[in-house]
Amino acid sequence: MASWIETLTGSLEQKKQYKQQQARIEAMPEPYRSAAKAFQRYFMYFGQIPDGDTLIKMGEDHVELWEQAVADQTPIREIVGDDPVDFAESFAQAYMGRQWIDKERARLTKAIDEIA
């Protein structure tokens, strides 16, 4: 029965893991909880993660990063630096792998090289 449901909704195991990650974030003290939530929201809108397994792995690493910061009492700016957008996009970039746009980037570069 789960297989047809997963066809419609996606992996139930991934949804379970996602909810566990959410609970771990909710358990963090402030200001770490708010920072983790802000980055998580950005990651969802950034939207360049190619598949659910990768998204779950990135989410797990994200939660572990903030849990370690809580344990070490590391200041948030020491983690993210002066540019939180750059931090978020660099963090997410590590999980992206090859994308469909890579082919077009190569094609554009080749076209301009040939023209020039």
CATH number at residue 40: 1.10.1900
* Confidence label for 11 from pLDDT (cuts 50, 70 and 90): confident
User: Sign of the C-alpha dihedral, residues 101, 61, 17, 28?
Assistant: negative
* Confidence label for 111 from pLDDT (cuts 50, 70 and 90): very high
Summarize pLDDT for 84-103 with one digit per residue, the tens.
Answer: 999 999 999 888 876 667 77
Round the average pLDDT of the chain to a whole number and report it: 88
Position 37 scores a pLDDT of 97
pLDDT at residue 8 above 60? no
pLDDT at residue 2 above 90? no
Mean pLDDT, residues 72-77 taken together: 97
Summarize pLDDT for 40-67 with one digit per residue, the tens.
Answer: 999 888 867 767 888 899 999 999 999 9
Tally of domains within the chain: 1
- Maximum Cα–Cα distance across the chain: 59
Q: 52: domain range?
A: 2-115
Q: Which of 38, 39, 36, 15 is nearest to 24 (CA)?
A: 36
